[in-house]
Structure 1
Amino acid sequence: MKVLYAIQGTGNGHLSRAAEVIPILKNYCNLDVMVSGRQTSIDLPYPVTYQFGGLGFTFGNNGGIDLWETFNEARLLRLKQEYASLPVKQYDLVINDFEPVSAWACQLQKVPCIALSHQSALLEPEVPLLPGQDFLGKFVLKYYAPSYDRIGFHFESYNPRIYTPVIRKGVRMQKPFDKGHFTVYLPAYDPHKLASYLETVKGIKWEIFGRVPSKQQWNNDVSIYPIGNESFTQSMVNSRGVLCGAGFETPAEALFLGKKLLVVPMKGQYEQQSNAFALNQLGVQSISSVKPESIGEIREWTERDDAPQMDYPDQTQQIIKEIFNRFEVVKDSIGVMQGTRSSIHSVSDF
C-alpha cells in the first residue's frame, strides 16, 4: 500500500508530531512525505519527497499573524500549480496534517484523504470552543484542508474521534525538575521586546526562545536562545513554568510534564483563541497579550503554585491502526460519491 503523509510546515508542532508518527507509519505501508510552508525552526529527521510553498501564515512581531506578509506570500497561482502537479493518484491514501495542497488535490481527483491533526478536533461538536461567532475562523478550519474522514488531537478526548496529544519521546522519557527559571516560547513576538517586558518582573529568571541566530544574554535574569528542539526541551523540562502561545504541542507537553502554564493566544487566530478557552476549563490561565499592562498578571502567575498535570499515554500505534481501518470505508464512500461535488467532511460541520 502506497501512502503520502502531507504535513503543514507552518510552526513547529506539526513537524514535531510527524517525527513521532512517521517511523510507525513506515511499518504499515510504503510511505512518502510531503511538507508545505516554511515558517518553522526545526528540521524533519526523515526524507521529504515533496516540498511546496503551500498556503501558510507568517508570524508577526506583536502577538499575531502578519496579514500583509501572509498575503504577499500567498501566491494563489503557484498554489493552483502545486496541487495540479502533485501526483496524488499514485497513492492509495493521503494522510493529511492540515496541509492544503494535498487536501485539495485529493478533493479534485477523488483520492482517499484522512485528516490527522489538532485542527480536525476543532470540527467536532463536543469540543469547547470560544463563545461567539467567528465565521472566518470556522471557514478556515473547514475548508483550508478538507478531507473525507478525520481523526483529531486535543487536550482531552472529548469523543472517540479525538485522541490526546502525541508527546515527543524526547519529552516523554524525561524526568521533570524545577531549576527555578521560566521558559518562554512566543514566536509571534519579537524576543527582544519580550525581554524588555519580562525583565521588569524582578527576581525571576527567564529563558526566551525566539528568532535569533545565537544565544544572547539580555541581563542577569533574562536570556534569549535560538529555537532548537533539544535546547528548548531541556529548558522546559527543567523549568518552574512555561509561558507560551496557545498552540497545541507546547501547552500539551507542559501539561504532561506538570509545569505551571500561562498561554497567550495569537491575535485574530481562531484556533488559538479556542485552545486557550479549552485550557481555561482545565485550570490553565491565559492572557490576551504580553505588554507592559499585563506584567502584573504575569507576576501573579509566577507566584501561584497550581500546575495541572495531564496523563497522556502513548496511543500512536493505535491511531495508525485506526487510520488503516477507516481506509476501506473512505475508499468505498468516494466510489459512491463519484459525480457529486461534496466530500464527507467538507459540509455540514457547524
Structure 2
Amino acid sequence: MKILYGVQATGNGHIARSRTLAKALQQYPELEIQWLFSGRPKENLFGMELFGDYWWREGMTIVHSEGRLRSLATVAQAKLRQLIQDVRKLPVSEYDLIISDYEPVTAWAAKMRKKPSVGIGHQYAFLHSIPMPRYNWPFHTVLRIFAPTKKSLGLHWHHFGNPILPPIVPPQPKPVSDTEDYILVYLPFEHPIPMLEELAKVERQFIVYGVPENLPTANNIQIKSPSTLGFQQDLVNARAVICNSGFELLAETLAQGKPILSRPLAYQFEQEANAQALEQLKLAKIVRSIDANSIHTWLQEGPKSVRIQWPDVAQAIAAWIAQGCKQDPADLARSLWRQVTPRPTEGTVPTYQNATD
C-alpha cells in the first residue's frame, strides 16, 4: 500500500507524534510511505532523519506574539494562492491512502480528488463533543474544515464518551539519576525576555527550551537549544513542568507524572479547549499569566501530579492502517482505553483516580 502522510509542522508536538508513529509503521514493510511537512520553514525543521526524503510545502501556520494568537496577522500572512496551487499539484492519484496529521495540503488534495483519507491527531477529537470554549465558534468552524478527511482518529487525554483514542506518546527514557530539583519550562509563545525576568524572581532552578539561546539569563536559569532526546531526558528528570497548553507535551508530562502549571495561548481555540479539559480532568493547574506570583502560588499550594500509563497507541494505529483501516474506530478506542492506568472515572465530571502526588 502506498501512503502519502502529511504532517502539520507548526508545532513540535505534531512532528513528535508522527515520529513515534513512523517507527511503528516501519514494522510493516508492505507499507510504502511518503512524508510531507508544511506550516514551518524547511530550514527550521530538525531531527527529521526518520522521515527519509520527505516533501515540504508552505502550508499554513498561525501568527502569535506575547502569548496571544494574532488572528488578523494570521490571515494576512496566509499564502492562499500558493496553498491552492500546492493542493492542485499534489500527486495524490499515485497513492492508495492519504493520511493527514492536521495537514491541509494533503487533506484538501485528497478531498478534491476523492481519495481515501484518514485524519490522525488531537485536532480531530474536536469533531466530537468534548470540552471547548463555546463562545469561540468561528475558530471551532475553522478547526473543523482546516484539514478535512473521510475518516478520523482523534486523540485526547479522555474519551468523554466518544470514539476518541488515548494520546500517542513516545517511549520515555529512564532517569539518569533521581528526580532533580529543577523545573522544565517550555513557553515558546511567550515574549521571552519578560518571561525570563519573571523566572529570575523565583528561587528555583529552571531549564528553559523554546527561546533564543543568546538571551541574558539569571543564575537560576539555563537555556537549552532544541533537541528531541535532550528535551525528553530533561523532562524525565524534572521536578515539575511549566508550559503552554499544547497537547503532545502535556501527554508526555502526564506519562511521567510531573506536576503541571499551564497557560493556554490566548484566543487560540485548541489551547483554550485543552486548558478547559485539564481543569475538568484535574490534571494541571491552569493560570492566565505565567509570572513570579503565579509560580509562587502554585509552589506554595504544593503542586499535585497524576501519572497516567498510556498504552502503545502508535502500534495499534499502525496495525489498523496495515489492515486497511477497516476496524471501527469506536472498537479501536474501547480496546485502548481498557489499557489505560489509572482508568478515568465515567461520571459527569470525569477524573483520574489514584492520583500519584
TM-score per shorter chain, which class? Answer: 0.7 to 0.9
Partner in structure 1 of residue 109 of structure 2: 105
Q: In structure 2, how many angstroms separate the alpha carbons of the residues matched to 1:206 and 1:51?
A: 35
Partner in structure 1 of residue 160 of structure 2: 158
Partner in structure 2 of residue 247 of structure 1: 246
CA contact 1:89–1:109 (8 Å) conserved in 2: yes
CA contact 2:175–2:237 (8 Å) conserved in 1: no
Q: In structure 2, how many angstroms separate the alpha carbons of the residues matched to 1:112 and 1:314?
A: 25
Q: Does 1:309 align with 2:307?
A: yes
**1:296 deviation in Å?**
2.1
Moved over 6 A (4+): none
Question: What root-mean-square deviation, in Å, do the aligned CA atoms of Structure 1 and Structure 2 show?
Answer: 2.2
Partner in structure 2 of residue 227 of structure 1: 226
Q: In structure 1, how many angstroms separate the alpha carbons of the residues matched to 2:281 and 2:327?
A: 35
- Alpha carbons of structure 1 residues 48 and 262: separation in structure 2 relative to 1, 3 Å: farther
- Alpha carbons of structure 1 residues 239 and 41: separation in structure 2 relative to 1, 3 Å: farther
Partner in structure 2 of residue 80 of structure 1: 84
Q: In structure 2, how many angstroms separate the alpha carbons of the residues matched to 1:306 and 1:244?
A: 15
Task: Find the residue that maps to 1:155 and give its secondary structure.
Answer: coil
Paired amino acid for 1:47: G
Q: In structure 2, how many angstroms separate the alpha carbons of the residues matched to 1:98 and 1:140?
A: 12
Q: In structure 2, how many angstroms separate the alpha carbons of the residues matched to 1:176 and 1:301?
A: 25
Q: In structure 1, how many angstroms separate the alpha carbons of the residues matched to 2:40 and 2:20?
A: 20
Deviates most, 305-314 or 254-263: 305-314
Q: In structure 2, how many angstroms separate the alpha carbons of the residues matched to 1:14 and 1:55?
A: 14
Task: Find the residue that maps to 2:82 and give its secondary structure.
Answer: helix
CA contact 2:173–2:233 (8 Å) conserved in 1: no
Paired amino acid for 1:248: F
Of 295, 299, 305, which aligns to 1:298? 295
Q: Does 1:186 align with 2:187?
A: yes
Partner in structure 1 of residue 268 of structure 2: 269
Q: Does 1:32 align with 2:61?
A: no
Of 108, 114, 117, which aligns to 2:118? 114
Task: Find the residue that maps to 1:122 and give its secondary structure.
Answer: helix
Sequence identity of aligned pairs in percent?
30
Paired amino acid for 1:299: H
**1:322 deviation in Å?**
2.6
**Aligned residue runs from structure 1 range 33-182, under 5 A:** 33-38=35-40, 42-45=46-49, 46-60=51-65, 62-67=66-71, 69-125=73-129, 127-130=130-133, 132-159=134-161, 161-169=163-171, 171=172, 173-174=174-175, 177-182=178-183
Task: Find the residue that maps to 1:162 and give its secondary structure.
Answer: coil
**1:65 deviation in Å?**
2.7
Q: In structure 2, how many angstroms separate the alpha carbons of the residues matched to 1:187 and 1:207?
A: 13
Partner in structure 1 of residue 13 of structure 2: 13
Partner in structure 2 of residue 321 of structure 1: 319
Q: In structure 2, how many angstroms separate the alpha carbons of the residues matched to 1:48 and 1:289?
A: 41
Paired amino acid for 1:141: L
- Structure 1 unaligned blocks of 5 or more: 331-350
CA contact 1:89–1:111 (8 Å) conserved in 2: yes
CA contact 2:126–2:144 (8 Å) conserved in 1: no
CA contact 1:282–1:308 (8 Å) conserved in 2: no
Alpha-carbon deviations, 1:180-232, whole Å to 9, x = none?
1111101111322211012122x2111111231x4666122122222222222
Q: In structure 2, how many angstroms separate the alpha carbons of the residues matched to 1:173 and 1:17?
A: 19
- Alpha carbons of structure 1 residues 329 and 163: separation in structure 2 relative to 1, 3 Å: closer
**1:48 deviation in Å?**
4.0
Paired amino acid for 2:217: W
Q: In structure 2, how many angstroms separate the alpha carbons of the residues matched to 1:8 and 1:325?
A: 25
Task: Find the residue that maps to 1:163 and give its secondary structure.
Answer: coil
CA contact 1:114–1:323 (8 Å) conserved in 2: no
CA contact 1:260–1:308 (8 Å) conserved in 2: yes
CA contact 1:182–1:205 (8 Å) conserved in 2: yes
Task: Find the residue that maps to 1:316 and give its secondary structure.
Answer: helix
